Amino acid sequence: MEDLKSGRGVQVVTPGEDHTFSLDVEALEALLLREDIKDRSVVVISVAGAFRKGKSFLLDFFLRYMQHKYNLGGSGEWMGAENEPLSGFSWRGGSERDTAGLLLWSQPFKATLDSGEKVVVYLMDTQGTFDSESTVRDNATIFALSTMLSSVQIYNLSQNIEEDDLQHLQLFTDYGRLAQESSGGKPFQRLQLLVRDWSFPYEHAYGAEGGRELLDKRLTVHEGQHHELQSLRKHIASCFEELACFLMPHPGLKVATNPEFNGKLSDISQDFKNSLRQFVPMLLAPENLILKRIGGQKLKSKDLWLYFKSYMNIFNGSSLPEPKTILEATAEANNLSAVAEAKEVYETIMEELAGGSKPYLQPQLLEEEHRRARDKALHSFHSKKKMGGDSLSETYSIKLTKELEDQFEQYRQYNAEKNLLRKLGPLAVLCALALLCYLLSVLAGVLGLQTVVVLAQTAAIGCVGMLLVWCYARATGNLSELGSQVDHIADSVMELAAQYAGRQATAVALSYSEEKMSYSADKKQS
């Protein structure tokens, strides 16, 4: 597993001493905006829950499976050798917290779904809740962020599903209420409860079936139940598209009591390993991967970057944000994603026509192509389902239009720089004029037209003088106004020449067309 040893958990959200959180922008960009994965749809698997309950330990088994299945293309046994230490996300035994903030594995896994769609899978480790250093706000922030950003949130529990666990879920998922009411759907995707060290297998068997029975029992709403308990259960059910539970046995005394334990399979109980062999593929096998969606739209890796930034902006205040603020941040990121996608449409079209390696285009043709690309980009923006209503969408549409016009101005300038005639225009025009005036003076001298000779020679000397001024202005930066005037004169001459050439070309084309029509008519008569 050499690749896993070379990877690491990258801390993308870091807790501060003042109980705020900061986003490591550079680290997140390096992960999410890689050229080979930024346009892939994302699967985000997160593990959250109380501290010191084996979240990072569990994730390292996820890493083993992903490495075996997706990087090595293997099938069958994936857990590794019995004496191989467990590596990956940092973990250790003991009573002190080991993970802080939010971490993503540094080596995203590329996968292909049964449908053929190429996706990227991110594994997220989270700071444990309810330790001696964290406030309620800290706990709520971490759990809410990881739940909103993941497609599968694993809620790691110990021994049972207690009423406290359900109350914590209600606290952490309160932010989804308004989003649910506004979007018409459930705000979060899959909540996978994982009960570790399940002590009552005679009541409910280990595994998914026993977990389903226990979860149904805990979430059942029945008559005679207190209103608050009913409301709590209805709230949890309303926040997630899918709820599941898995019961796992204790990993064994060596895991719990040996300070030298390093994750070797030989030290873990067989029942625990058997449960891992069932549980891990349930989440990570290609046919079971769940794509991250917000507002019904699949997120690409580059979109996830926008949501990270938007959510961090509102969770970084002195108090927890209101549900309305969460919805606004989601709608903002949703519209920004549509803007980014539309700009890519525009850039793709324009790069094919006027990119750095493309030849010079006539300005009129370039503007026509700009309008075509702009219309396609705006169509892409408006056709994508967005949150926040028509008013917010129109605001971003106006912003997009302005950005496209600004981008066109850059393309226009780049195109102008490719025009060799434009660059050397004054030099070529003045040299040509001087030569024409000289030839005219020679011809006039042969014909004995002395007045024309004097005028032509004077004009030729004037052209040479302007040429020297232009060269001096370009070489030294002095006499810039005179140099600009010479540019203007040369532009006017070139424009007149282009107009004349255009008229002549049109006349020739019309003449040719008339001759062809006349020839056709004569041929028919004959």
pLDDT score at 18: 76
**Single-letter amino acid, residue 422:** R
Q: Quick check: 458 and 438 in contact, CB under 8 A?
A: no
Global pTM value: 0.72
- DSSP state at residue 15: E
- pLDDT band, very low/low/confident/very high, at 475 (cuts 50, 70, 90): low
pLDDT at 186 over 60: yes
CA angle 123, 57, 276 (to 5 degrees): 85
Percent of the chain whose pLDDT exceeds 70 = 79
pLDDT per residue as tens digits for the range 228-278: 899 889 888 888 899 999 999 999 888 777 777 787 898 999 999 999 999
The larger pLDDT score, comparing residue 302 to residue 473, is at 302
Specify the higher pLDDT residue, 208 or 133.
Answer: 208
Counting residues of the chain whose pLDDT is more than 90, the rounded percentage is: 35
Q: Is the pLDDT of residue 312 over 80?
A: yes
Q: Which of 168, 134, 122, 123 has its CA nearest to residue 51?
A: 134
User: Which whole number is the average pLDDT over 14-36?
Assistant: 88
Look up residue 321 and give its DSSP letter: P
pLDDT at 503: 61
pLDDT exceeds cutoff 50 at 166: yes
Alpha carbon separation from 301 to 22, 41, 293 (Å, rounded): 20, 6, 12
Average pLDDT, integer, range 357-376: 86
With cut-offs at 50, 70 and 90, classify the pLDDT of residue 296.
confident
> Where do the DSSP E strands lie in 255-356?
293-294, 297-298
DSSP assignments along 245-273, one per residue: EEE-----HHHHH-TT----GGGS-HHHH
510, pLDDT greater than 90: no
Q: For the chain, which domains are there?
A: 2-321 (3.40.50.300), 338-418 (1.20.58.420), 431-525 (no CATH)
What's the pLDDT at 339?
92
CA distance 360 to 199: 75
Supply the pLDDT for residue 448: 78
What integer pLDDT is reported at residue 1 of this predicted model?
41
> What is the model's pLDDT at position 62?
93
Q: Quote the mean pLDDT of the chain.
A: 81
Residue 362 and residue 88: Cα distance in Å, rounded?
57
Between 497 and 186, where is the model more confident? 186
Phi-psi region of 266 (alpha: psi -120 to 50; beta: other; left: phi over 0): alpha
The better pLDDT of the pair 316, 277 is held by: 277
| Other residues' Cβ atoms within 10 Å of the Cβ of residue 362 | 10
Q: Name the β-bridge partners of 15.
A: 21
- Classified as helix, coil or strand, 207 is strand
> Would the pLDDT of 330 be above 70?
yes
The average pLDDT across 374-392 equals: 87
Model confidence at 96, in pLDDT bands (50, 70, 90)? Answer: very low
Highest mean pLDDT pick, 71-80, 126-135, 179-188: 71-80
Q: Looking at residues 5-29, what average pLDDT do you find?
A: 85
Between 280 and 186, the higher pLDDT residue: 280
Q: Is the pLDDT of residue 302 over 50?
A: yes
The pLDDT score that the predictor gives to residue 194 is 95
Burial class (CB in 10 A: 0-12, 13-18, 19+), 119: buried
Residue showing tokens 């961090």: 312
Task: Find, among 134, 142, 114, the residue nearest to 46 by Cα.
Answer: 142
**pLDDT in the model for residue 462:** 76
DSSP label of 129: B
Three-class DSSP category at 299: coil
Give the residue-averaged pLDDT of 115-134: 83
Q: What is the pLDDT of residue 323?
A: 60
